[in-house]
């Protein structure tokens, strides 16, 4: 069992190494992580006049200290706050998808450069997907030349390559060992109280520990179990999350709210204009510089 994330990795890096894919949950959990670390404040708001629904405002807090962030974290913050130090998430709808792909690509490059994968897993997956699709489609244009039996054999090969493309990314030895470490960390995050008392060297059970590891629990899918461990001692909204709804606070409900924020954020940032609409392009990716520094 491990009590801390390996190599000071961010939640997004943990999520990407865990399942070899950078998904929307990894990105939104990393926004939560940046908020916990004081770089962003999340404010729950409302949109609409008659039919109201939840929305969120993000506020940039430490522009002068962002040089201490990893390159991916810098890219994420600069992409979100491309125009101002405050952004309403709903206003990014249908406008951020291209930038989101650039953010994800930045993370793929980071985890490859750090030695967790021998090659960029996203590019490798896309390469073999393309090969599989080509082999599947090509026989349709030469069916009269080679016969149906050969066609079926070729198409079967193409189908196998296409399916294989989704599992083909492989980790380095460092990546394999890191995933094993992550498995131990996930076990700690989902540990029930009766098991916790067996470990004298576990981190102190306090609000700071809950907040620090919440975003990691999110990318590993054990946030509910993590919240349950703190329901007796965590009793007020943290400074980085503002909710004026007036509902009595408890960590389980708070975690559900943060999950709602995560889902909403992922849906908004990845949304694209409908083909029939006038559209609106993504914001330019820009060449945001990467920094060194640790995660905390």
Q: Which pLDDT does position 195 carry in this prediction? A: 61
**Is residue 220 pLDDT above 90, yes or no?**
yes
Q: Please work out, in degrees rounded to the nearest 5, the angle formed at the alpha carbon of residue 35 by the alpha carbons of 117 and 23.
A: 35
What is the arithmetic mean of pLDDT over 94-109?
92
Lookup: tokens for 156? 């079967």
pLDDT for 36-82, tens place per residue?
Answer: 999 999 999 988 777 778 899 999 998 889 888 988 999 999 999 98
**CA dihedral in degrees (18, 24, 25, 29; nearest 10)?**
100
What is the arithmetic mean of pLDDT over 99-113?
93
Q: Return the closest-CA partner of residue 289 out of 19, 90, 67.
A: 67
Q: Tell me if residue 244 falls in helix, strand or coil.
A: coil
pLDDT for 249-274, tens place per residue?
Answer: 888 889 999 999 999 999 999 998 87
**Is residue 141 pLDDT above 60, yes or no?**
no
**Is residue 293 pLDDT above 50, yes or no?**
no
Confidence of residue 184 (pLDDT cuts 50, 70, 90): very high
| Sheet hosting strand 53-60, strand order edge to edge | 86-88, 53-60, 40-47, 241-242
**Is residue 86 pLDDT above 90, yes or no?**
yes
Q: Which pLDDT does position 123 carry in this prediction? A: 74
């Amino acid at each position: 069992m491990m009590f801390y994330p390996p190599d000071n990795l961010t939640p997004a890096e943990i999520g990407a190494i865990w399942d070899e894919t950078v998904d929307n949950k990894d990105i939104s959990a990393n926004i939560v992580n940046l908020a916990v670390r004081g770089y962003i404040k999340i404010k729950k708001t409302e949109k609409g006049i008659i039919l109201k629904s939840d929305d969120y405002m993000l506020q940039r807090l430490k522009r002068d200290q962002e040089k201490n962030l990893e390159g991916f974290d810098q890219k994420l913050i600069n992409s979100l706050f491309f125009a101002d130090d405050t952004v309403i998430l709903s206003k990014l709808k249908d406008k951020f998808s291209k930038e989101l792909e650039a953010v994800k690509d930045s993370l793929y490059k980071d985890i490859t450069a750090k030695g967790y994968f021998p090659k960029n897993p996203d590019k490798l997956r896309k390469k073999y997907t393309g090969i599989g699709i080509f082999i599947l489609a090509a026989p349709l244009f030469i069916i009269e030349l080679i016969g149906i039996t050969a066609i079926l054999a070729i198409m079967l090969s193409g189908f196998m390559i296409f399916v294989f493309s989704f599992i083909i990314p492989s980790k380095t030895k460092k990546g394999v060992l890191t995933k094993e470490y992550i498995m131990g960390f996930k076990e700690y995050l989902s540990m029930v109280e009766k098991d916790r008392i067996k470990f004298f060297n576990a981190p102190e059970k306090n609000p700071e520990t809950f907040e620090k590891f919440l975003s990691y629990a999110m990318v590993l899918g054990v946030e509910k179990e993590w919240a349950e461990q703190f329901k007796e001692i965590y009793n007020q909204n943290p400074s980085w999350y503002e909710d004026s709804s007036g509902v009595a606070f408890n960590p389980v409900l708070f975690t559900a709210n943060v999950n709602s924020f995560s889902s909403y954020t992922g849906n908004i940032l990845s949304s694209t204009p409908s083909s029939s609409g006038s559209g609106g392009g993504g914001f330019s990716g820009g060449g945001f510089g990467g920094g060194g520094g640790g995660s905390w």
